[in-house]
Structures are given as structure tokens and as C-alpha cells.
Amino acid sequence: MRTEAALPKAGCAEPVVLRERGQHEVFCGLTGIVWMHRKIQDAFFLVVGSRTCAHLMQSAAGVMIFAEPRFATAVMEERDLAGMADANEELDKVVSRLLERRPDIRMLFLVGSCPSEVIKLDLSKAAARLSRSYAPNVRILSYSGSGIETTFTEGEDRCLAALVPELPEALNDAPALLVVGALADVVEDQFARLFAAMGLENVGFLPPRRSSALPAIGPNTKILLAQPFLTETARALAERGATHIPAPFPLGAEGTTAWLLAAANAFGVDPMAFRAATAAPKARAERALEPFREALSGKTIFFMPDSQLEIPLARMLSRELGMVPIEIGTPFIHRAHLMQEMPMLPEGVAISEGQDVDRQLDRVRAARPDLTVCGLGLANPLEAEGLTTKWSIELLFTPIQGYDQASDLANLFARPFDRRTRLRV
């Protein structure tokens, strides 16, 4: 027996997408380390890059000088870039000193950057070599966070894709659900409770909180994406035999319900068990959104392409809070992952894929939206022109998925208007 999703009628089933291919302005994939290092508690992220990479990470994370973060930069000097030193030997020395100083590390990620990509330093071979030296105490992996190759959310995708070959094979044929995408621990706990209340017990999360708890995977594993930007990870999991469950993303009361319902239907959960598990938290979330609906309804919003969260966010803001998207810009559109989201967008909304920053800024200035969602580098200039902005990167640092976070998500979009009002007083 299945429970059908009670979603309003589609509005944008086959939207026209404007393909932008010009200058872009977005953080590189290194930025994903800021939230990933909080999630995998015994992992360390070593960026092989320049002082610029180190400064970016320090600025993005806001790390104070007395803090002990679980990331660092192996700074490449001029002699490394000029080929005057053996980069692999230098890297081995850095890794040796790091593991001597931090014996708590159980998983080490070597993260490629623009400089390491330019000199063709093969970090995958370096990781394999170093793993042989430090196994079984430390597992050493690699991925690229280079701005040449990645936007800032793709750093998480590359990191999780690097983990997939390490996942153990499932020992039995029991059906299993794997939730894929970094979630705040409080959100993960809430989802685990909801799945348990429905009767789903064999549920894993990728990434895990500790490297020793990597979830098993097999042909009876079904994956539920918590983030829309996990293209490489989903592909790698499919190659291991897992099956993707198409679903909207768990943003807002409606999106969370539809996301949970997709899993429930995939595993044949009894409709009464599903309603019993979700009715109360859904009602709480809807009540919590009411004050924000009054404040945000009718406000226009323009999304600059940055995080790949733009389409699910536009769906939630328009359908649950009454905001009016003028344009939804996103770096990439993976239609298989967004097939449940696209029909739920307002009819006739403009959608752009990729970026031509000058042309998009011209459209922002012409439209004069009530709120522009963009990267930090664009926010201040637009604010100086009298436009109200929202930093897109904050949406990755803040727990926004699930019922209990619905009002927190809405508040992120209400705060810029409150700030503007206070500044005018």
C-alpha cells in the first residue's frame, strides 16, 4: 500500500532554462571543508595549496588563532611551484609531522587546490602511497577542491565520492536506506527518529560522524539525497549497486514531508504509520512558519547562481511563504535529482544555469528585487546600490533541513529585511 504525495498541481513542468557561459564569481570547493570537518569528527582535511588557500579557509571558517581546527594547509612555496623541490617528498614530511602531532586522526583527506592542479601533483597516488605507510591506523584519501574544477558545494560532493569506494559491502540482502549528504547532527538525529517511528530501522547516513562507522552498501540499498549537488557521489553509489529514490529536498514543512514520503513509499511503509510519525512535527513546522509568511508574502527574490540549493529554496519560499521568485540562477541543473522540484516552481519563473556575472547583475539591477541571494563578493556592492541581499554561503553553514528547522530557514530570509529596517531608523 502506498501513500500518495498530496502536493499542489505542477506549475513549471518543462521550464525554459537560460544557459549562461561567462565570467563567474563563486567560492571554490575548498570551502566545503568548513562544514565537512565538523561532521566527520575524527577526520582531518589537509589542503595542498598556497597561502591564498590558507587565508580563504581561515576567513571562511572564522577560526581564531588559539583554536585547534581539523583542517590545515600544506603551503606550496615558490620552490615547489618551480619544480626545485620534490613535491611528494615535501608532502610526506608534512603528513608525518601532522600525524605525529595529532594521533587522534583516523582519516586524512588530501585536498587538491588550484596550485597543486597546475603543477600536476597526483594526490590520488600520494594518498595510496601514504595509506600503505600508515594503515591500519589512518585511512588516507584524496579529492579535488580546486576552483578550476569545482564550485563551493561541489567540494562536499567530491569528498563523499572519495568515501564511496571505502564503504563496506552489505553482509546480507536486507533492504537498507542510506541518507546521503552532510547534515547537522541535530537534524540527522531528528530524521533517524522519524524513520524509526515509521518502522524503518536499517538506516545509515553518509558521511558518518566517525570514520569507523562507514555505512555498508549493497544491491538492496536505496539512497535518499539530502543535498541536490551530490552528482558524483550519487553516480559512485549507483556503480556500487545502490538505487536512487527521487524526492524533493527536505526544506520546509512540505518539502520535508514529501522527502520522507518518498522513502516511506520506496520501503512500503504503512500509510497510517507514516501519518502517525509525521503529523505532529509537520503541524508544528507549519505553525512556526506562519509569522514569516505574513512578513515575506509578496516579496520578490532573485537567486544568483552559487550553491545549487537555489531551486529547492525557491520552491519552499514561493509555496510555503508566498515569496515571488523573479529569476532562479543555479550553477548546474541535475534533472534526475531535481525532477520532483522543477514542477513545483511557479509557472513562468525565469531559470538560468551557469553564470555570466555581468549579465546577471544587469538583470538584478533592472528588476530591483526585494531580496537578492548571492555570494559574499557580490553582496556588499549590491547593498551599496540600495539592494537588500542574503549571503548564500550561510545556507550551508546553518541547519535548515527538516521540520524543526523550517522556521530557522524562513528566518534566514526574514533577517535581511529586519536589518534594512533597523539601518533606516
pLDDT in tens, 167-223: 999 988 899 999 999 999 999 999 999 999 999 989 999 999 999 999 999 999 999
Judge whether 10 lies within some domain. no
Looking at the structure, do residues 382 and 305 belong to the same domain, yes or no?
yes
Judge whether 95 lies within some domain. yes
pLDDT at residue 21, rounded to an integer? 80
Before 136, cis peptide (omega within 30)? yes
pLDDT at position 424 over 70: no
Question: How many domains in the chain?
Answer: 3
Looking at the structure, do residues 219 and 299 belong to the same domain, yes or no?
no
Annotated binding residue 114? yes
Judge whether 35 lies within some domain. yes
pLDDT at position 78 over 80: no
132 lies in which domain range?
Answer: 29-150
pLDDT in tens, 81-90: 555 457 888 8
pLDDT at residue 273, rounded to an integer? 97
Looking at the structure, do residues 48 and 141 belong to the same domain, yes or no?
yes
pLDDT at residue 8, rounded to an integer? 43
Judge whether 114 lies within some domain. yes
Looking at the structure, do residues 259 and 334 belong to the same domain, yes or no?
no
Judge whether 158 lies within some domain. no
Q: What does each C-alpha distance from 239 to 89, 162, 205, 231, 236 come to in angstroms?
A: 34, 13, 18, 13, 5
pLDDT at residue 2, rounded to an integer? 44
5 confidence band (pLDDT: 50, 70, 90): very low
pLDDT at residue 81, rounded to an integer? 52
End-to-end C-alpha distance for the chain, whole angstroms: 58
Looking at the structure, do residues 292 and 263 belong to the same domain, yes or no?
no
Judge whether 348 lies within some domain. yes
> In the listed set 115, 150, 185, which residue is the last one of a domain according to the structure?
150
Q: Which residues contact 240 (CB under 8 A, 6 or more apart)?
A: 164, 167, 217, 218, 221
> In the listed set 237, 257, 274, which residue is the last one of a domain according to the structure?
274
Looking at the structure, do residues 418 and 296 belong to the same domain, yes or no?
yes
Looking at the structure, do residues 265 and 329 belong to the same domain, yes or no?
no
Higher pLDDT, 321 or 171: 321
> In the listed set 274, 293, 317, which residue is the last one of a domain according to the structure?
274
Judge whether 163 lies within some domain. no
Looking at the structure, do residues 298 and 409 belong to the same domain, yes or no?
yes
CB 214 within 8 A of CB 141: no
Looking at the structure, do residues 366 and 325 belong to the same domain, yes or no?
yes
Percent of the chain as helix, strand, coil, to the nearest 5 = 45, 15, 35
Report phi then psi at 44, rounded to 5: -135, 140
What's the pTM value of the predicted model, to 2 decimals? 0.91
Separation of alpha carbons 362 and 417, rounded Å: 22
Average pLDDT over residues 288-293: 96
CATH number of the domain encompassing residue 300? 3.40.50.1980
Task: Give the H/E segment covering residue 389.
Answer: strand 389-391
